[in-house]
Amino acid sequence: MIHKQKKLEGQVALVTGASSGIGAGVAKALAQEGAAVVINYASSPDKAEMVQAEIKSQGGTAITFKADVSQEQEVIDMFEHIRKAFGTVDILVNNAGLQKDASFHNMTLEQWNYVLGINLTGQFLCAREAVKEFLRRGVVPERSQSAGKIICISSVHEVIPWAGHANYAASKGGVMMLMKTIAQELAPKKIRVNSIGPGAIRTPINHAAWDTPQGLQNLLKLIPAKRIGEAEDIGKAAVWLASDDSEYVNGITLFVDGGMLLYPGFEDNG
């Protein structure tokens, strides 16, 4: 057993959609544990560079890379770039995701395809390229007991239906089965695939739910722990799933949701 000072020392992590929100929080948490981090972004180089600067100011290693995860060639090019920069990749955090909300009868095919393209196809494309690299390299015991780790950022909405968000909920339900299926397929190759299912985390994606006192009060009714989550809460879970501390954990969704999945509406009813 090799004891490392930092849990992810010597490893390379790609975090997609890492210029803000949960992705930025996860990138910083992995860097703090010694991973060299690739901060992928689609449209905000300035924000990605701010995350990079923060990591560097704390002595970490980080680069930024622009790629739209729904585009096959851009994803292939990104992995090629990472191999040239760092030699390999050990950890993929499939985080890039978005919402385009609409009532079902008004949802356009464009809104549907856009969300499925990034939230589900994007996770497929990145996972596929990561797995090719993990299989090529195999286990290097000084780095990790696994040949590679994939963490899919899903949502409580992989199980909780969500009116007005059919595209988003369907994408997250899809992520759950993608994650479980490739976990089953790849466990014999020492590749671990798991998800994190965040609840309501204070990020730009859901600002309308928390940036007014009334909105926050309504939101807290759905959270038994009575606080909104922070990106750091997800970062800590990602460090655990990426490290050898979770070496025997395959194919789970770790919900980090303050108890949102406990059906708090039933607390004094039903």
Binding of residue 202 to ligand BGC (CB under 6 A): no
156 binds ligand BGC (CB under 6 A): yes
CB 126 within 8 A of CB 143: no
Nearer to ligand BGC, 143 or 165 (CB): 165
225 near ligand BGC, rule: CB under 6 A: no
- In the complex, what is the shortest distance from the CB of residue 87 to ligand BGC, in angstroms, rounded to a whole number? 34
Would residue 71 be called left, alpha or beta, if left means φ above 0 and alpha means ψ between -120 and 50 degrees?
beta
Whether 168 is catalytic is yes
For 147, the token pair is 């040949």
CB of 246 to ligand BGC, least distance (A): 22
**Gap between the Cα atoms of 217 and 101, Å rounded:** 22
Q: How far is the CB of 175 from ligand BGC (least distance, A)?
A: 11
Which amino acid, residue 48?
Answer: A
Radius of gyration over every alpha carbon of the chain, rounded to an integer in angstroms: 18
- Segment near ligand BGC (CB under 6 A), from 8-16, 64-72, 140-148, 152-160? 152-160
Q: What is the DSSP letter of 62?
A: E
Residue 116 lies near ligand BGC (rule: CB under 6 A) = no
> 41, 114, 168, 263: which is the annotated catalytic residue?
168
* Residue whose tokens read 């990079």: 52
* Smallest gap from residue 153 Cβ to ligand BGC (A): 9
Distance CA 47, CA 12 (A): 21
Q: Which is nearer to ligand BGC, 90 or 158 (CB)?
A: 158
Q: Is 139 in the site for ligand BGC (CB under 6 A)?
A: no
Q: Rule CB under 6 A: is residue 205 a binding residue for ligand BGC? A: yes
In whole angstroms, how close is the CB of 63 to ligand BGC at the nearest point?
Answer: 27
Query: Which amino acid does the sequence have at 51?
Result: V
Q: In this structure, what token pair is assigned to residue 100?
A: 């385009």
Binding string to ligand BGC for residues 67 to 106, with x set by CB under 6 A, is what? --------------------------------x-------
Long-range contacts at 50-56 (CB < 8 A, ≥ 24 apart): 51/18, 51/19, 51/20, 51/24, 51/27, 54/28, 55/27, 55/28, 55/31
Candidates 114, 206, 224, 244; binder of ligand BGC (CB under 6 A) is 206
**Helix intervals (H) in the chain:** 21-32, 45-57, 72-86, 109-116, 122-137, 166-186, 207-210, 213-220, 231-242
Question: Given the rule CB under 6 A, which of 2-10, 151-159, 233-241, 243-251 is the region that contacts ligand BGC?
Answer: 151-159
Site for ligand BGC, rule CB under 6 A: 99, 155-157, 199-200, 205-206, 209
Q: Which residues are catalytic?
A: 168
